[in-house]
């Protein structure tokens, strides 16, 4: 993997829970790591829902492997610029092992 391909600064977020004054739990997103990565759109699709156009874009994000990012799972999300990507499946190691992680994500409607 060449460093020049990892030109996008992305933030990896994990779900967490907080309590409000009444004691009810609610979902919060905690920033877990900020890393360099590459974003490659795989295909695009638009659909209409509730009178709005909803864009659904499948994206492959590649980052360098490290023990810190090896724990990412399908409940997490990735942010780049103004776009939030939901992790669609557990990340996949490259064929050479422990050099890079390939994360398949989906943008569009998100929790939070």
Does residue 112 form part of some domain?
no
Count CB neighbours of 92 within 10 A. Answer: 13
Per-residue pLDDT, averaged over 37-59, amounts to 67
Give the bridge partners for 36, in sequence order. Answer: 9
The mean pLDDT value of the chain amounts to 83
Q: Model-level pTM?
A: 0.78
**pLDDT tens string 53-66:** 555 558 899 999 99
The DSSP bridge pattern shows strands 100-107 and 52-64 to be antiparallel
Chain centroid to Cα 85, Å, comes to 4
Q: What is the CATH number of the domain that holds 49?
A: 2.40.10.270
Task: Report the pLDDT value the prediction gives residue 107, as an integer from 0 to 100.
Answer: 81
Q: What range defines the domain where residue 90 resides?
A: 3-107
- In the chain, the number of structural domains is 1
């Amino acid at each position: 993997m060449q460093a020049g391909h990892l030109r996008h600064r992305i933030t990896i977020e994990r779900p967490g829970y907080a309590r409000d004054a009444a004691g009810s739990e609610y979902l919060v997103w905690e920033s877990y790591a900020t890393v360099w990565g590459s974003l490659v759109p795989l295909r695009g699709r638009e659909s209409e829902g509730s009178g709005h156009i909803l864009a659904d874009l499948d994206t492959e994000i590649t980052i360098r492997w490290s023990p810190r990012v090896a724990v990412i799972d399908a409940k997490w999300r990735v942010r780049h610029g103004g776009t939030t990507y939901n992790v669609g499946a557990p990340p996949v190691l490259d064929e050479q092992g422990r050099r890079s992680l390939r994360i398949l994500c989906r943008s569009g409607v998100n929790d939070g």
